[in-house]
Structure 1
Amino acid sequence: MELSFYISAFVTLFVIIDPIGLAPLFVAVTAGTPAAERRAIALRSAGIAVGLLTLFGVLGEAVLTFVGISMPAFRIAGGILLFLTALEMLFERRTKRREDQAHDDRPDPSVFPLATPLIAGPGAMATMILLNGAVGRDPWAMLGVHLVMVAVIGLVLVLFLAAGVLERALGRTGINVVTRLLGMLLAALSVQFVLDGLADFGLAPG
């Protein structure tokens, strides 16, 4: 494949995954978490996201078809789960739960909502399926697509690891304000996921 294809693939995945937009989300989701634990969460979420997108890139729609799940249904489910997370951010339930629970009992956000649906969401999974379909299942070209995906998630990881600097710059009040604003944006994003899924079923405007 030509270099222009991989540049286009990088830009597409970068826009869909949005590493810059995920950084403040990571700060909000891990607010109050110790630095070492935050680094571990960042590494786990990035690793899990790479694994998920690799799985979808290699096996494609066969994964969902095997378990009887369509991509529209996957979008709707992801949207509903993301909406629940947005509610927690808006009403400080996540922060209160962290203060009330012991350290070992804190929920680990590395799988949900960070790895999926925020990093490896339905859009990114669908993009990996489409990109690998575009190269005609050529193994070397598919490898190039996956290396591009790893590069984009590598940028996500770098920004996640720098989240502590962002948190110190904002302060506790700033984090609370940003958390609520992002909670609203997440709620809107989750509704869009659901609408996209319904549109694919012909139940909502495209």
Structure 2
Amino acid sequence: MESIGVFAIAVFTGFIAINNPVGNVPIFLSLTRQADRPTRKMISKKATFTAFVIVAGFIFLGKYIFDFFGLTIPAFKITGGILVFFVGFEMIRAQVSSIDNQQEINFNEGISISPLGIPILAGPGTIVTAMNFTTTATYLELGIILVMFAVVMWLNYLAFLSSEYLVKYIGANKIVVVEKIMGLIIAIIGVNMLIQGINIAFLE
């Protein structure tokens, strides 16, 4: 059971790093600044549920996708590692102004599906991370991956509901700092995936 616990922690850490709730708060506020509180609650629920369904599909169909297209684990880990690294790299180098100085947009509840549901919550980095965990997973581990992602989506939902209070009490600058730290962790995860892929392909 200890190995299962370690696996669960690793999965949770991977998901929370690439899809951290606090880092998503400024984006959520930017997209919903014209909405009232009940509408924001509805959008939060729709966005997190949409992301959960999309990633759950990849979690359970990942192995079949691999078989159908003839993909290999080393190739996926190497490619996925590169993609995840660049997601983290972009988070590190992103400027605050890209969020705070957006032009006014016409408010549309459809943002709960896109861009909030996908690609912000269920973006390439999240999907690659999920599929990386599923490549050699047992059915029990698949269940753990699903539960861990559900927990992360629940935390995002709570963060969205508390977004105004988080910015008020934590401060916008500190939220940006958290996002930079998460970006560094994501970049490291990407490099680790790349090294694993190279090891499997050439050294094992």
Normalising by structure 1, we get a TM-score of 0.68
The yes-or-no answer on 1:90 pairing with 2:83 is no
The yes-or-no answer on 1:112 pairing with 2:123 is yes
Superposition pairs for residues 25-44 of structure 1, below 5 Å? Answer: 25-29=20-24, 31-33=26-28, 34=32, 35-36=40-41, 37-44=43-50
Match of 1:65 in 2: 67
What is the aligned-residue RMSD (CA, Å)?
Answer: 3.4
Normalising by structure 2, we get a TM-score of 0.69
What is the letter of the counterpart of residue 175 of structure 2? I
CA contact (8 A) 1:76 1:198 kept: yes
Match of 1:151 in 2: 147
Superposition pairs for residues 126-165 of structure 1, below 5 Å? Answer: 126-128=135-137, 131-132=138-139, 147-164=143-160, 165=162
Between stretches 155-164 and 102-111, larger displacement belongs to 102-111
Residue 55 of structure 1: how far off its partner (Å): 1.3
Residue 8 of structure 1: how far off its partner (Å): 6.2
Identity of aligned residues (%): 20
d(CA) in 2 for partners of 1:183 and 1:189?
Answer: 10
Match of 1:174 in 2: 174
Q: Which runs of 5+ in 2 are unaligned?
A: 33-39
What per-residue deviation string (whole Å, max 9, x for no partner) do you get for residues 136-167 of structure 1? xxxxxxxx765554433332222221224474
CA contact (8 A) 1:22 1:156 kept: yes
Aligned residues: 179
Residue 26 of structure 1: how far off its partner (Å): 3.3
Residue 184 of structure 1: how far off its partner (Å): 1.4
Q: Quick one: structure 1 residues 198 and 47, their matched pair in 2 at CA, closer, same or farther if it must change by over 3 Å?
A: same
d(CA) in 2 for partners of 1:153 and 1:171?
Answer: 27
